[in-house]
Structure 1
């Protein structure tokens, strides 16, 4: 019986010999394939294979994917990747590690980094490795447990000689991808896995996304002004400044800090004995700061600000009959000063 570690060692940097063939996918559901992604303001790179199939060439971590018509879909030299979905003449260039593949075809197109298999949450076999034949070649079949409990297990067919993943099917029968035909060991020019023409970088994509978002914002803002109101909508809003927590900093002097609002909080207030020295507070510049004869006060609101009437009402309730006589200097201390 073949051990899982033998399969893993064979496939971890595979395919060890070039593989070229036709890959077809299936998705037996009316629900769309959803691909969770993480990006930094740019459009994520998602490779999708249509049901008509694609020609796939693999050599180690390098891959080339074309439509059967010959139109390029995806290239990678093992580190950099080029995606041709949006513009066949100017592909999106990104790091291979930033590429997502929709559906189960990922294992057929991209060799995961070695670290993928040593993580604590990596997909582990649910049973023994089986020796099978696929495309007329000796292969291994292994079922991997889902990485998340709400996902089905996936069965891989791995070529025993090259380590190439030749098929992947979900245990629920919904998704699948497999080489329909393949040639092994035919030398491939490394140049077919790279692109030296015009490209769109991640930064280019980010700028496009930002420009599109700004265009949408302006368009909807113009619509609001034309269809709802073009008036100034600065209006007083009621803030509940009832403390949700209170820290007595010095009971003898009456110094305290307090936070108000639910959740992460809507703001803070603080008081100290009146002083001419700068008030170092980690909250930084206060929304409002003032002094009475005996105390310095500061208040921060994270949403909105105070209008004069609102601030006057807050002061009257905090120290009734004790008028404002000045303003302290409130600053955020330099961490380097803290030693």
Structure 2
């Protein structure tokens, strides 16, 4: 199924009725459009991100500087972990002397905490892996910002729905929670900034290229 079908009346984004008085303001098609097209409206920001992954080799709590597709991840002590641009990702791994460098297209998802920072590939929304809402979106506040709470049905291979909190204006995902496993990740602090140096997203040292 393509994105036009998803967004069309009667398509897969059609929602079942709900008795919640706070739900369905705008509805799922509006939220999906924001997820797909809102990045141009996303402000520059710095913040703190917590990822709950026991198998994750990097620190669970990190500082992130983000300018739309570009981002920089550091430990809370200031150690550089990832620098990402649309064309390149540099990843510092705990067991390697030199960082890895990955050259890729705009939808390359590589590196520490990337799944909690980068937007999903638009093609993902045509599949069945947490793409179909179980009920209408709910308007909420997250860190004082207007947002949507969305519950997405799991594919047959996974045990429970996924809850996403996304910004109401530009669609950045602020948190994800599994109804089986609990919190997966969450931004715990966000500060919008007026300017950000391009040098934050550059790295000129030696790397292992892939």
TM-score (norm 2): 0.74
Structure 2 CA distance for partners of 1:187 and 1:147, relative to 1, 3 Å: farther
1:25 aligns with 2:51: yes
1:97 aligns with 2:112: no
Structure 1 gaps of 5+ residues are: 34-46, 203-339
Q: 1:200 aligns with which of 167, 185, 208?
A: 208
Q: 1:89 touches 1:198 (CA, 8 Å); kept in 2? A: no
Q: 1:20 touches 1:55 (CA, 8 Å); kept in 2? A: yes
Structure 2 CA distance for partners of 1:109 and 1:131, relative to 1, 3 Å: same
Q: Which has the higher contact order (CA 8 A, sep 6+)?
A: 2
Residue 112 of structure 1 and its aligned partner are, at CA, apart by 2.4
What is the count of residue pairs matched by the alignment?
Answer: 181
Q: 2:130 touches 2:152 (CA, 8 Å); kept in 1? A: no
Matches within 5 A, 1:2-21: 2-12=26-36, 14=39, 16-21=42-47
Residue 48 of structure 1 and its aligned partner are, at CA, apart by 4.9
Q: 1:114 aligns with which of 115, 122, 125?
A: 122
Match of 1:187 in 2: 195
Larger radius of gyration: 1
Match of 1:208 in 2: none
Q: Deviations over 1:180-227 (max 9, x none)?
A: 11112432223312322211012xxxxxxxxxxxxxxxxxxxxxxxxx
1:58 aligns with 2:66: yes
Q: Deviations over 1:227-284 (max 9, x none)?
A: xxxxxxxxxxxxxxxxxxxxxxxxxxxxxxxxxxxxxxxxxxxxxxxxxxxxxxxxxx
Residue 90 of structure 1 and its aligned partner are, at CA, apart by 2.9
CA–CA distance in structure 2, aligned partners of residues 65 and 4 of structure 1: 31
Structure 2 CA distance for partners of 1:91 and 1:150, relative to 1, 3 Å: same
Q: 2:58 touches 2:94 (CA, 8 Å); kept in 1? A: no
Q: 1:157 touches 1:166 (CA, 8 Å); kept in 2? A: yes
- Superposed CA RMSD in Å reads 2.6
Structure 2 gaps of 5+ residues are: 1-24
Residue 161 of structure 1 and its aligned partner are, at CA, apart by 2.5
Give the structure with the higher percent helix: 1
Matches within 5 A, 1:115-194: 115-119=123-127, 121=129, 123-194=131-202
